[in-house]
Amino acid sequence: MTVDIICPLYQAEKYIEKLHHSLLKQKNVSINNIHYILTESTDNTEVILNKMNISYQKIKRSEFSHSLVREQAVRRIDDNPDIICFITQDIVIEREDWLEKLIEPIITNKVAATYSRQLSKFNNIEKYTREYNYPEKSFIKSKNDIESLGLRTFFSSDVASAIKKDIFLKLNAYDGKNLPISEDMYLTYKLIMNDYKVMYCSDSVIYHSHNFKLKDLYKRYKLTGKFLKENEYLDKYKTTSSGASLAKYILKRSLQEKNIKVLIRYPFDMAVRLLGMKVGKM
């Protein structure tokens, strides 16, 4: 099967060269094209793209949307790949079999979509959220898992994911909606509820590291709260208990490792997440 990769870019000068070279090094896969969508930036991203002779599409900031940019990019593709792979600019790919491991379950018809394991290079709270959301063992999720997993049944991440192109289009992608966050959950919900399976691939590994300030974390959770408010059907899948389970895991792991920095930040971090979520739902 052939693959097209879609990657939105914004202020990406410190990422693009290393990212592009790591994509070209992927083995045992047939990549048709890499589609970069550049939101107008003030740094040297465009200069670097031109210097490297990399083709890209440029859009205005007012045109950017996490959901619509991806959906429109897929609809514009004319080389007819079997699989679409979504990535973000800030991932670090160190293994040459990352993409092979990501698309293998789709090629063998085990599932319709997959997502990679994410690890953080920082020893902060995100390290533990990555552990919780991206464990060591792979697993497949279907409608049969809703009772046991609740909202986590629909968790995935298009930071590094793949899906059969025909199914993406058949389900009408994101339904033309401008989703500011959680577009990956929106799509995964549609996949699961239409009897498709989604696989978490623990052997498809990337690094995705942040060190968010509290105000940035608040903004993210406010957007998440807004998303859940606009998609209230998800609330019946125990959204609150899902967050509580994550909070308990972070506290447990930080105590086990005697991570003092995390323990000091923990109450403020959790409070900001909860407040952002509540405000977003109002």
Quote the crossing angle between the two packed helices 214-230 and 260-281, to the nearest 10°: 40
* CATH, residue 130: 3.90.550.10
> Within this chain, do residues 175 and 228 fall inside the same structural domain, yes or no?
no
Asked whether the predicted pLDDT for residue 132 surpasses 90, the reply is yes
Give me the chain's average pLDDT, please: 95
> Within this chain, do residues 241 and 140 fall inside the same structural domain, yes or no?
no
Binned at pLDDT 50, 70 and 90, residue 109 comes out as very high
Residue 54 buriedness (CB in 10 A; 0-12 / 13-18 / 19+): middle
> Within this chain, do residues 135 and 187 fall inside the same structural domain, yes or no?
yes
> Within this chain, do residues 172 and 249 fall inside the same structural domain, yes or no?
no
Look at residue 240 in the predicted model and tell me its pLDDT.
Answer: 63
> Within this chain, do residues 205 and 234 fall inside the same structural domain, yes or no?
no
Look at residue 162 in the predicted model and tell me its pLDDT.
Answer: 98
183, 211, 239 - which closes a domain: 211
> Within this chain, do residues 46 and 116 fall inside the same structural domain, yes or no?
yes
Written as one string, the DSSP assignment of 37-92 is EEE--SSSHHHHHHHTT--EEEE-GGG--HHHHHHHHHHH--S--SEEEEE-TT-B
Asked whether the predicted pLDDT for residue 106 surpasses 90, the reply is yes
Span 132-153, mean pLDDT?
Answer: 95
User: pLDDT per residue over 38-79, tens digit each?
Assistant: 999 999 999 999 999 999 999 999 999 999 999 999 999 988
> Within this chain, do residues 216 and 99 fall inside the same structural domain, yes or no?
no
**Alpha helices for the chain (secondary structure H):** 16-24, 45-51, 66-76, 98-107, 125-133, 146-149, 165-170, 183-193, 214-230, 239-256, 260-281
Span 178-199, mean pLDDT?
Answer: 97
Look at residue 120 in the predicted model and tell me its pLDDT.
Answer: 96
> Within this chain, do residues 79 and 124 fall inside the same structural domain, yes or no?
yes
What's the structural domain count of the chain?
2
Binned at pLDDT 50, 70 and 90, residue 231 comes out as very high
> Within this chain, do residues 104 and 194 fall inside the same structural domain, yes or no?
yes
pTM score > 0.85 for this model?
yes
> Within this chain, do residues 115 and 91 fall inside the same structural domain, yes or no?
yes
> Within this chain, do residues 188 and 227 fall inside the same structural domain, yes or no?
no
159, 187, 211 - which closes a domain: 211
> Within this chain, do residues 159 and 228 fall inside the same structural domain, yes or no?
no
Long-range contacts of 245-250 (CB under 8 A, 24+ apart): 246/129, 246/132, 246/133, 249/128, 249/131, 249/132, 250/125, 250/128, 250/129, 250/132
188, 211, 234 - which closes a domain: 211
Look at residue 239 in the predicted model and tell me its pLDDT.
Answer: 66
Look at residue 130 in the predicted model and tell me its pLDDT.
Answer: 96
Which range marks the domain in which residue 231 is found?
212-282
